[in-house]
Amino acid sequence: MDENIDKLEYEIVELFIRLANLLSLPRSLGEIYGCLYIAPDPMCMDELIAKLNISKGSASQGLRALRNFGAIRTVYRPGDRRDFYEAECELRKLVSGFLKDQVNPHLDSGKERVANMREIMDEGEYENEEFLRERIEQLEKWRARANKILPLAIKMIER
């Protein structure tokens, strides 16, 4: 364990690292969010770098991604030109931010991929063509349903 972080901080940071891994997000996002979550006061990037022993690039990318998710917010400190950050602790904001930033783009690209699959099918001859066309059609139905459900889910979560 790093001497810059106590046992409780370590456990909380580790919890968020595991959550980031579960969501296929970079480890640094879990580290940064966990550190900000347990911090009683907003922290600047330099403090996070020192506390977590991470690179400036990793900290910068992590902070940008967490801001995009809505997982952290920038806090103004009079007289200090640095940006300070604190964790967003409302679950609904965290979930809706994640869905908007991570899931929506995949649904958008899914439409293009399914269209590409159809083109590939039209260009070639396949022994099990009917089966493959049914599977591609099923993927399109799943994507269309997800496109309808996701905005509703986000609206319900944000209430």
Query: Where exactly are the structural domains of the chain?
Result: 7-87, 91-158
Instruction: With 0.85 as the threshold, say if the pTM is over it.
Output: no
What's the mean pLDDT when you consider all of the chain?
87
pLDDT at residue 22 in the model:
83
At residue 23's C-alpha, the angle toward residues 22 and 25, to 5°, is: 110
DSSP code of residue 102: I
Q: Which CATH entry fits the domain spanning 7-87: 1.10.10.10, 3.40.50.300, 3.30.70.920, 3.40.50.1370?
A: 1.10.10.10
Amino acid (one-letter) located at 61: Q
What is the per-residue pLDDT across 35-55, written as a single tens digit (0 to 9) for each?
A: 999 999 999 999 999 999 999
What is the per-residue pLDDT across 98-127, written as a single tens digit (0 to 9) for each?
A: 777 767 777 777 888 888 998 998 888 888
Residues with Cβ within 8 Å of 52's Cβ and at least 6 positions away in sequence, in order, are 2, 4, 5, 13, 28, 31, 32, 35, 59
Query: Of 73 and 97, which is predicted with more confidence?
Result: 73
C-alpha separations of 62 from 72, 100, 129 in Å: 10, 17, 45
* Other residues' Cβ atoms within 10 Å of the Cβ of residue 159: 6
Identify which of 53, 57, 46 has the alpha carbon closest to the alpha carbon of residue 31.
53
Phi, psi of 124 (to 5 degrees): -120, 175
What are the DSSP calls for 43-55, one per residue? EEHHHHHHHHT--
Rg (CA), the chain: 21
